[in-house]
Amino acid sequence: MQFRDLISFLAVVGAASAAPRPQPLSFDDVVILAEDGSYSIVKEAEYADIVARNNLQPASPMEIEARTAAYASKSRRACGNSNEVQVTSDTKFLNWDVAMSPVVSAQGGSASVTLSSGYMLANSVSITATEGVIVEAVLTATLSVSYTQTWTSTETQAFAYTVPEGQFGVVVSQPLVRRVQGNYISGCVDAPDKKVPFTSDTYTNQVYGGGLNWVQGVIRLCNSTTYPVPFCIGEGSHT
């Protein structure tokens, strides 16, 4: 299977619509949710290679700092009063785990777990000052996104993961996020009265077979011999 770039990676046509019965999945199967509503199922080793080749890991703080410095070194415009957004980085990567099922124990025998209802994901903007409403309005217009957009999972039998005997497992989504970081600048660009840093995280809506309305990214089983289950991407644990 070949994935030339991020777009083809997400647009790949996998299995057709999910069958009426749950798609049985092994613990090392990863479901790639495509932008056309289809999905592909690959093994964990192949998935790791896809992630590496498409650079879908979060940028390191050093990389972000380098991009910010490069942006700041560009020639500035003449001083003038303005209210604008300065973007210092605009990246896409697979975000931290979002639980989509309770943690299931397979102590004493293998167990099966499917996606459950009530798990939520939302677009968000993080602002470190009181100008939040203003910045959010500017970003909404600039990026054409809604920060009131949320997704809530509903119970679906699209996929059924088998948790290996003696382990704990939870179905997680690792959504493809667009993270835009920068500053809201008010006043003179060269010597602003206010410079408010922000981080914007947004996702792309997609409806999939089997009754799943979610976002682009992947779905996989996060499993461990210990409880709570450590995040597969990110810091923390599933309880």
pLDDT tens track for 1-37: 444 454 455 544 333 343 457 789 999 999 998 777 7
pLDDT value of position 13 = 36
Q: Is 55 left (phi over 0), alpha (psi -120 to 50) or beta?
A: left
Please report, for residues 17, 107, 165, 230, the alpha-carbon distance to residue 207 in angstroms, rounded to integers and kept in the order given: 11, 34, 33, 28
Counting as low any pLDDT under 50, the low residues of the chain are: 1-4, 6-7, 11-19, 59-77
pLDDT one-digit tens code per residue, 142-166: 888 899 999 999 887 788 999 999 9
Is residue 99 within 8 Å of 119, Cβ to Cβ? yes
For residue 198 the two structure tokens come to 């922000």
Domain ranges of the chain: 6-70+78-238
**Minimal CA–CA distance to 68: which of 202, 199, 176?**
199
Which residue in the block uniquely carries the two structure tokens 């790949």?
12
- Give the three-state DSSP class for 39: strand
The pTM is what? 0.76
pLDDT value of position 232 = 95
Beta carbons within 8 Å of 101's beta carbon, 6+ residues apart: 113, 114, 115, 116, 119, 170, 171
Please report, for residues 63, 130, 153, 160, 210, the alpha-carbon distance to residue 19 in angstroms, rounded to integers and kept in the order given: 43, 50, 19, 12, 7
pLDDT value of position 11 = 46
pLDDT value of position 112 = 94
Respond yes or no on whether the N-terminal peptide bond of residue 228 is cis (omega within 30° of 0): yes
